[in-house]
C-alpha cells in the first residue's frame, strides 16, 4: 500500500473515532469536547487536501445515479461539518472564546445541535458508500453472508436507538436542548453511537447496490 493511501486511511479512522467521541458529550464533557471539535476541523481540512483529485474530477465523466448521490452526500457532509465546527467555536468557553457573541447564543446552540446530528448521519452515509470496496475484497461467500447478517442486526439495533432517542427532533430544529444520560457507562455510549453510525452506513451501502442495478438496467435498455 502506498504511503499516501496509508495516510488517507489513518485520517479516515481518526475522523470516525473523533466523531464518535464528539457525539458522546456526556463522556468527554466541555473542555475535551471543544478540543476534539478543533481536531475534527483540522482533520476535515487535511482530508479534503488529501482527496483534492476528487474535486478536480467533479466536472468530468458521466453522472450515474450513484455518482449523483455520492456528490450530494459529500457536499452536504462537508458543509455540515464546517458549519458545525464554526457554530461550536462561536460558543466555545475554552478553545476559541474570542468568537463568542458573533451570533445570538440561542441561535448558535440550536444550530450546532442540529448540524452536529446531520453531520453524524451524513458521515454514516459517506462511510457506507465506501463499504462496497471492502465487501468486494471478501471473496468467501460465507464470510459475506455472515457479515451481512451481522450488519443487519447492528442496523436494526442502531436505528431503534436513533429513533427512540428523538434525534430527528434535534435535526429538524424542534428541540433546542440535548438530553443526555450521564448515568450510562462511557463504553455503552460509544457502542451505541457506533451502532447508529453503522446503521446509516449499511443503509447507504444497500442503496448504492440498488443505484448500481438501476444504472445497469438503463445501459441494457
CB atoms within 10 A of CB 48: 14
Which helix H or strand E contains 7, and what residues bound it?
Answer: helix 3-22
Q: Which residue has the cell 460509544?
A: 190
Q: Could you give the C-alpha distances from 11 to 70, 170, 220, in angstroms and in order?
A: 20, 28, 39
pLDDT at 120: 98
Please, which contacts does 214-221 make with residues 24 or more away whose CB atoms are closer than 8 Å?
Answer: 214/65, 215/64, 215/65, 215/66
For the cut 90, the answer to whether the pLDDT of residue 139 exceeds it is no
- Decide if pLDDT at 1 tops 80: no
pLDDT tens for each residue of 100-128:
888 998 899 999 999 999 999 999 999 99
Per-residue pLDDT at 151: 96
Least confident of 10-24, 96-110, 111-125, 198-212: 96-110
Per DSSP, the chain holds a count of helices (H) and strands (E) of 9, 0
Helix, strand, coil shares, percent, the chain, to 5: 80, 0, 20
Angle at CA of residue 198, ends 196 and 199, nearest 5°: 60
Given this model, what pLDDT does residue 221 score? Answer: 63
Which of 85, 112, 90 is CA-nearest to residue 103? Answer: 90
- Distance, in Å, from the CA atom of 43 to the CA atom of 124, rounded to the nearest integer, reads 17
Measured in degrees and rounded to the nearest 5, phi and psi for residue 174 equal: -95, -10
Average pLDDT score over residue span 21-39: 96
DSSP 102: S
In this predicted structure, the answer to whether residue 73 has a pLDDT above a threshold of 90 is: yes
> Predicted confidence band at 133 (pLDDT cuts at 50, 70, 90)?
confident
Q: What is the mean pLDDT of residues 150-167?
A: 96
Q: What percent of the chain has pLDDT over 70?
A: 99
pLDDT number for residue 176: 85
| Nearest alpha-carbon partner for 165 in 39, 49, 3, 23 | 23
User: Can you give the pLDDT at residue 175?
Assistant: 86
Over the chain, what is the mean pLDDT?
92
Amino acid at each position: 500500500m502506498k504511503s499516501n493511501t496509508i495516510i488517507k486511511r489513518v485520517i479516515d479512522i481518526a475522523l470516525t473515532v473523533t466523531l464518535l467521541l464528539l457525539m458522546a458529550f456526556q463522556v468527554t464533557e466541555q473542555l475535551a469536547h471543544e478540543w476534539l471539535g478543533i481536531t475534527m476541523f483540522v482533520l476535515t481540512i487535511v482530508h479534503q487536501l488529501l482527496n483534492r483529485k476528487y474535486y478536480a474530477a467533479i466536472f468530468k465523466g458521466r453522472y450515474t445515479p450513484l455518482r449523483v448521490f455520492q456528490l450530494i452526500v459529500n457536499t452536504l457532509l462537508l458543509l455540515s461539518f464546517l458549519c458545525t465546527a464554526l457554530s461550536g467555536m462561536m460558543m466555545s468557553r475554552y478553545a476559541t472564546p474570542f468568537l463568542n457573541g458573533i451570533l445570538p447564543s440561542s441561535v448558535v446552540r440550536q444550530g450546532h445541535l442540529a448540524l452536529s446530528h446531520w453531520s453524524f448521519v451524513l458521515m454514516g452515509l459517506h462511510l457506507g458508500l465506501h463499504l462496497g470496496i471492502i465487501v468486494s475484497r471478501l471473496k468467501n461467500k460465507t464470510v459475506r453472508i455472515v457479515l451481512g447478517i451481522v450488519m443487519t442486526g447492528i442496523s436494526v439495533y442502531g436505528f431503534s436507538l436513533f429513533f427512540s432517542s428523538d434525534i430527528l427532533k434535534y435535526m429538524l430544529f424542534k428541540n433546542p436542548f440535548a438530553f443526555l444520560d450521564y448515568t450510562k457507562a462511557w463504553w455503552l455510549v460509544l457502542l451505541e453511537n457506533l451502532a447508529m453510525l453503522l446503521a446509516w452506513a449499511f443503509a447507504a451501502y444497500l442503496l448504492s447496490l440498488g443505484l448500481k442495478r438501476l444504472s445497469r438496467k438503463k445501459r441494457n435498455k
